[in-house]
Structure 1
Amino acid sequence: MSLPPDPRTAGGGDRPWQVPSWVDPVVARATGVIGGPLGRYAVVGGGGLAGVAAALTLVGALVLALGVWQKGHCLMKGWSTPDQFWRACYSDLPVVHVSSPLSERALPWAGEGAATGTAPLPGAVMWLLAQVWPGAGGGLASQQWVFALWALVAVVLVGLAVLALVSLTPQRPWQAAHLAASPALALLALVSTDLLGVSLLLLGLWAWRRERSWTAGVLLGLASLVRPFPLLVLAAVLVVAWRRGRVLPALQTVVGAVLGALLVLLPLVTVQPEALSAAQQWWGQPAGYGALQMVPRLLGVTVPTALTTAVAVGGWLLALGLGVRLSAPGRPGGGRGVVQLSALMLLVVALTSASLSVQSGLWVLPFLALSAVRWWRHLLWVLAEALVFLATWLHIAFASDPGRGLPGDAYALTVVLRAVAWSWVLWEVGRGDRPVAQRPVPISAPDRTASPS
């Protein structure tokens, strides 16, 4: 039986939104716990886009609460080795806090227990959190305090990310649930400060969409101080702008990114030059956890460090060249947008990276939320992420108890499976030829009244 036009959207207006439980079978089945898919006469988005953003921020807060629960053992007992690996509750923030000068409210890069591998902006953020701690020293109370503070900051960051996503995809605002409701958020958001970079990245894309080139550059420059992945998005912005004849905004974005990075780097380097040690350590380090380049070493094959670095650098060059080539309007699928180009370049960099830590999965979520990827694909990717999440801690703990830990060959298999999952889901994002906001959106609900056969 055919239905009349949906009275909520028949007049057009500002709410031609797809209801996830009408168009995605995974979401429809998941709503069984709250009574089933949304009904035909329910009011969708009565509060406007702000209402959607508020609802998804609340969902994100609940998902982060699950993340706190998942790390509950360490939160109650402390982050000690190897217990934090057996319990899969490791987190950089409390561990680095008590093992570095942060416990004395000093910057983390110099002194006894210096956290030389910490990137500039994460180190500065952890230093700010240390200033809020009312006491001093590195006991359990300080670990709990710092972890709780970051959990609260993470809720704010998720809210900002959701606002940016909803604004970027106003015709499909619920797509932001791919970040706010992702199981990966619960697993990874509290492991490190990467969520800060993800939020800055999305705010940068929002500013670029609003033609605020300087702001977009500053935000992307700050995001790149958390991890270098935002540089790929910056490159995609430049390539797309160049192809579309927007040279001046592209140059403004580049200058803004440099200024944004210097805004943090100059004060840090002036006070503590060791703040750049993370970049210095990257050059010439052996392959690290999660990277495909680590697989030969896990299988007993010695790989020269120089070759590992060369492959990683070559991956970046290949990714940039691929972005330029795929953006050509005359090529099949040419004229891709920033999101599609960024996803494909990220895929190349991830596959050739010298290290791809467990929390790197957070950087995939913005691309899922800005594309039309279905939830079943998202959940299969999360399954691979969860497998590597557990396998990494068990492999690290293998050194302390080989009888309980995960040997190298088994860990290598999980790394390969994760690489396959990243390739699959990022290819799905990258092959799209139009941004999701430009795709036609159905305005009528499916027939819910037909009797089952």
Structure 2
Amino acid sequence: MTSPDPRTRARRDVPFRVPSWDDPVVARATGLIGGPTGRYAVIGARGLVASALTLVLLGAAVMALAVWQKGHCLMKGWATPDQFWRACYSDLPVVHVSSPLAQGSLPWTGDAPSTQPPLPGVVMWLIAQVSPQTGQGIAAQQWVFGLWALAAVLLLAAAVVATVALQPGRPWQAAHLAVSPVLVTLALVSVDLLGVALTMLGLWSWRRGRPWSAGLLLGLAVLVRPFPLIFLAAVVLVAWRRRDLLRIGQLLVGVVLGALLVLVPLIAVEPQSLFAARQWLGQSTGYGALQMIPQLLGGGIPAPLPTWIALAGWLLALVLGVVVARRWHQAGVVQVAAVMMGVVALTAASLSVQSGLWLLPLLALSTRPWWEHLVWAFGETLHFVMTWLHIAFASDPGRGLPPETYALVVVLRMALWSWLLWRIANSTEDARPSAPVVDQPVGADEPQLDATDEVLAGGER
């Protein structure tokens, strides 16, 4: 008797989804490692640990490519404008040599304090303390960059493992985070990967029914970038729909405690550490944002209007998040967060190149196919290269990218962001929760999900 095609099997016949059976891009890509999973393969025989370990190793390989992409600057130093022509800019070595970090001090000291947010500044200071090289030479830059690259590998591994644990019914979806092409260009530009890892660990803690630790982790993540507030708001809104008020309160208290855990001692030691927040209130438009287009075309939006537009965008995002969470009962954290992320991005005063890292958690927690990921990643990589060419335009207009052309690139980037986030927000299949981690034989019935699983994945019991 002929064995049935594995792609026609019912979902209960396998413990988790196999992407090489129904995603043509994955099926072709697996040719490098032996081809798609065969019809006689025993899915899940080695458990989720094998999947997580494989993804962690693949992620480490991608991070090695990220170091290679910054290779010119790593060998020659991060000098202007060469670092822009070579597209190998990184905050870590540049801020190190242009701030008191080179002398082992916090980056906000002195007459020209750094504009780094609190937690990234602390991380950079810790790296400077560990580095055997001090000062502003190339050796110091190399050590700082190398130490952060090692830390980034560990952070990516933690984020990947948390993602696998969040959706054990779709562990290989975490590949959208582990092996995304945008990691090669964006992962080592800044310390945003720290915020992504803290956010994923926070969501995992929430799924495990630990709102206190989830709040602590998300509170720390907020000190890296504001984007974790979107995930926090989405969790609260979906939990509010279930009237889970006690855990919401515990989560929010945990967020405050997590932020204060860093801010209180930091402000006590160096009050200038809040300089970045004061700068943000009066900032002008920055790279990557639609608000910058009038400036690129010869006009401009006077400060502090960009900040007010951005704040209005956050408020509108929250309102839309409330509407989506209340009106669409199948919407989970992923759907609500995607809607809010789109509004915040479209109204942002600045949307730096590394902001693309914050879409990876949404891709990894959804079930979007890889062709959509790759289309978006192409636009993100194009914007990455064009941003540095536009910055270098001031030093050599004959080689650099003129502002009018860069404006078109920004529009294209935001169009791709909007398209991808809309696809995530409107994916009905994403709202179906995946099975929790259980030791069960292939073909066993899936157990009921608890309330925490449904809050993350969406859907009502």
Pair 1:23 & 2:36 matched: no
The 1:375–1:5 alpha-carbon spacing in structure 2 relative to 1, beyond 3 Å, is closer
Q: Which residue of 1 aligns with 2:451?
A: none
Q: Is the 8 A contact 2:15 2:43 kept in 1?
A: no
Question: How far is the alpha carbon of 1:113 from its aligned partner?
Answer: 5.0
Map of 2:449 onto structure 1 = none
Write the deviation string for residues 112-156 of structure 1: whole angstroms up to 9, x where unpaired: 5531x1000000001010111123211111111111111110111
What is the one-letter code of the residue matched to 1:161? A
- 1:296-445 equivalences in 2 (<5 Å): 296-328=294-326, 331=327, 333-433=328-428, 435=430, 438=433
What is the aligned counterpart of 1:138 among 108, 128, 136?
Answer: 136
The alignment's TM-score, normalised by the length of structure 2, stands at 0.91
What pairs up with 1:166-245 in 2 under 5 angstroms? 166-245=164-243
1:126 counterpart residue number: 124
Contact 2:176 2:364 in 1 (8 A): yes
| Contact in 1 for aligned 2:217/2:258 (Cα 8 Å) | yes
Aligned to 1:93: 92
Structure 2 spans left out of the alignment, 5+ residues: 436-441, 444-461
Question: Hey, what does 1:3 align to over in structure 2?
Answer: 3
How many pairs are equivalent? 436
Residue pair 2:15, 2:44 contacting (<8 A) in 1 also: no
- 1:401 aligned counterpart, secondary structure: coil
Q: Distance between the aligned counterparts of 1:33 and 1:435, measured in 2?
A: 28
Please give the per-residue CA displacement for 1:5-55, whole angstroms capped at 9, x wherever unaligned: 86xx99968x52222211100111122333432222334443211111110
Structure 1 runs (4+) deviating above 6 angstroms are none
Q: CA offsets per residue over residues 78-129 of structure 1, 9 Å max, x none?
A: 00000000000000001111111111111001215531x1000000001010
Residue 49 of structure 1 corresponds to 48
Q: Which residue is equivalent to 2:282?
A: 284
The gaps in structure 1 that reach 5 residues or longer are 445-453
Alpha carbons of 1:28 and 1:11: their partners in 2 closer, same or farther (altered >3 Å)? closer
Q: 1:434 Cα shift?
A: 5.7
1:335 shift after superposition = 4.2
Matching residue of 1:447? none
Question: Pairwise mapping of residues 239-258 of structure 1 onto structure 2 (< 5 A)?
Answer: 239-258=237-256
TM-score, normalised relative to structure 1: 0.92
The question of whether the paired residues in 1 share the 8 Å contact of 2:132 and 2:143 is answered with no
Q: Which amino acid aligns with 1:376?
A: W
Distance in 1 between residues matched to 2:373 and 2:5, nearest whole Å: 31
Residues 10, 423 of structure 1: alpha-carbon distance in 2 compared, 3 angstrom cutoff = closer
1:16 is paired with a residue whose SS is coil
1:76 matched to 2:78? The reply is: no
**Residues 187-245 of structure 1, C-alpha deviations (whole Å, 9 max, x = no match):** 11100000000000001111111111111111111000000011111111111111101
Give the % identical residues: 63
Query: Tell me, what secondary structure is at the counterpart of 1:245?
Result: coil
Post-superposition CA distance 1:245-272 (Å, at most 9, x none): 1011001111100000000011111111
Deviations 1:156-196 (A, max 9, x none): 11111111110111011000000001001111110000000
Distance in 1, matches of 2:431 and 2:163, equals: 11
SS at match of 1:327: helix
Over 3 Å counting, the alpha-carbon distance change for 1:268 and 1:11 in structure 2 is: closer
Measure how far apart 1:293 and its partner are.
0.4
- What is the CA-CA distance between 1:2 and the residue it aligns to? 6.2
What residue is the counterpart of 1:108 in the other structure? Answer: 107
AA of the residue aligned to 1:401 = D
Alpha-carbon distance between aligned partners in 1 of 2:185 and 2:40, rounded to the nearest angstrom: 36
**Pairwise CA RMSD of aligned residues?**
2.0
Query: What SS is found at the alignment partner of 1:33?
Result: helix
